[in-house]
Structure formats: structure tokens, C-alpha cells
Amino acid sequence: MPDALRIVLTLLAGVVTGMLSGTFGIGGAVVSNPSIRALGASPIQSIGSTLPSIIPSAISGALRYRRDGLLHTRVVLWTGLTGAVTSIGGSLLSDVVPGEGHALTMTIAFLMGYTAIRTARAGLTTPSDGPTGIRAESIHLDGPLAEADLEMAVHTTEGVSPAPHEKTWRLVLIGSVAGVFSGLLGIGGGLLMVPAFTGWLRLPLKETIGTSLACVGVIAVPGMITHALLGHIDWAFALPLAIGVIPGARLGAHLAIKTADRTLRLVVATGLASLGAVYAVTELLALVD
């Protein structure tokens, strides 16, 4: 393939990556990773080369969410900084995990499927916004968290943003696990943070996406540096991706903010499930070869 065509296709992959990053809060490597694999990157290069693009994508999208008040600064600080530390260990482990990178990318497919199922279930059981002004994502009146959810709904009707369950140890734990997977898989950690923020911290979906996106940017920095030192980054792929994600993330964040919550959940679930299936089939075929 001519180098000029490869650069153009990588730029386009960056734009799509940025859109998904801004819409889903997951870093976008779920698209850039298999895209540059198809364009000639090795499995380990596809992991390392996506990290430089995660940073500008996260910054671009997170600024858009911040403008609408959809970022939780305390969550970003504790989760992002903890994940930044543990991502170094994950990056170092990527060189010793067996399977030449195939096992790592199969893990990405599994995480995508898991997140898609959780998000779809929440979307299907969430009623549409009603005339009372209660946000649909805050109403879950069955199960042990019913009282907390009802309180969140009441506060929302009064125009007060409900406080998430931001116990520090929860934020540290989420950040630690997300950081390890970010370094290992080059995914930014958002695939773990999105379900953790919605299910455990009880953040509304749009605040989850914006906060996760900001955390992704913080976590990716040391992982990128470590992968660069290990020689895992092919800058011929990384630079075009980093350029393309900036306008894409801005557009994706704008679309997510303007989309109804129930619709957004179903779109996120469908997109992740489809990409996860493609990921799994691609890696299984590579293992057979």
C-alpha cells in the first residue's frame, strides 16, 4: 500500500476514533487498534501506537463536557492519577504476556462485550424522560440501591446535581484496575471506568462519559511514555491518529450531550457490541493463521 494512502486512511481512522471517544468516553482505541492492524501494524505496535492519540482525543472531548458542567473533578483527580501510576506496570507487563499480543486484544473484545451488555440492560429498563423533569437515568426503583436512586431523582427535580458515591477507596480501586488495563491493552481504561462510574458511583451517563474521558487522558500519559521507551510505538501510525482524533472527539462529545439518555445508552451498547464482535473474529482468524 502506498505510504500516502496509508496516512490518509490512518487520519480517517483517527477522526472516527475521536468521535467514538467523545461519544462513549472510552478513549477510542477500540477503532484505532484494529484499524492500524489492518494497515500493517503488528499486535504490540497497535497497542502502543494508539496511546499518543488518546491524549489529544481526551482533552478535546473533555473540554466540551466541562463546558456543560459534566465533569467531576474529584473523580478525575483520584481515578486519573492512580490509573496513571498503575498504567506503567501494565505497560511493562505487555512485553511479557504470552501470545504475541493476541491474548491482549482478545481481552479487549471481552471487555467491549461486557460493557455493551450492561449498558443495553440499563437502556432497555430505563423509562423515557417524563413530564416531571426527572432524569430517566436516575430512576431505578428496584434492588438495594432503590432509596439512593429515589433520592437522586428527587434532588434532580429540584435542580440540584446529586452527589455520586465518591468514597476515595472506590476511586483508587477503579483507577488502579483501569490503569493496568490501559497499559496492557492501549485502550485508555474507559471500558472499565464507564460501567464502574455508572454502576458503582451512580453517576448519570453523560457525566460518566465526560469524567471517564478526562481520566483516560491522564492515565494514557505514563503508559504512552513507557511503550515509547519499549519501542512499541510506530509514529507513522501514531501521529496521523493523533491529528485526526481532535475534531472527531469534539464532534462526538457534542452529539452525546445533545442525545437523549435512553437513546445514548442503546447507541453505546450497539456500537460496543458490534466492534467487540469484529475484534474477536479478527483475532481468532489471526490465531488460526
Question: By residue range, what is the domain housing residue 13?
Answer: 3-288
The pLDDT of residue 20 is 85
The pLDDT of residue 157 is 34
Task: Express each pLDDT in 200-221 by its tens digit.
Answer: 888 888 999 999 999 999 998 9
Q: Please report, in tens digits, the pLDDT of each residue of the chain (289 residues total).
A: 788 999 999 999 999 999 988 988 877 777 788 889 889 888 888 888 988 998 899 999 999 999 999 999 999 999 999 999 998 888 888 767 665 556 666 777 787 788 788 778 776 665 554 433 334 344 343 443 333 343 333 333 333 344 455 689 999 999 999 998 887 776 768 878 888 898 888 888 899 999 999 999 999 898 889 889 989 999 999 999 999 999 999 999 999 999 988 888 888 788 778 877 876 787 777 777 6
The pLDDT of residue 45 is 87
DSSP codes joined into one string, the chain: --HHHHHHHHHHHHHHHHHHHHHHSS-SHHHHHHHHHHTT--HHHHHHTTHHHHHHHHHHHHHHHHHTT---HHHHHHHHHHHHHHHHHHHHHTTTSSSTTHHHHHHHHHHHHHHHHHHHHHHHHSPPP-TT---GGG---SSTTHHHHHHHHHHHHTT-PPPP---HHHHHHHHHHHHHHHHHHSSTTHHHHHHHHHHTS---HHHHHHHHHHHHHHHHHHHHHHHHHTT---HHHHHHHHHHHHHHHHHHHHHHHHS-HHHHHHHHHHHHHHHHHHHHHHHHHHHH-
The pLDDT of residue 128 is 52
The pLDDT of residue 289 is 63
The pLDDT of residue 100 is 56
The pLDDT of residue 268 is 79
Task: Express each pLDDT in 219-240 by its tens digit.
Answer: 989 888 988 998 999 999 999 9
Q: How many domains does the chain have?
A: 1
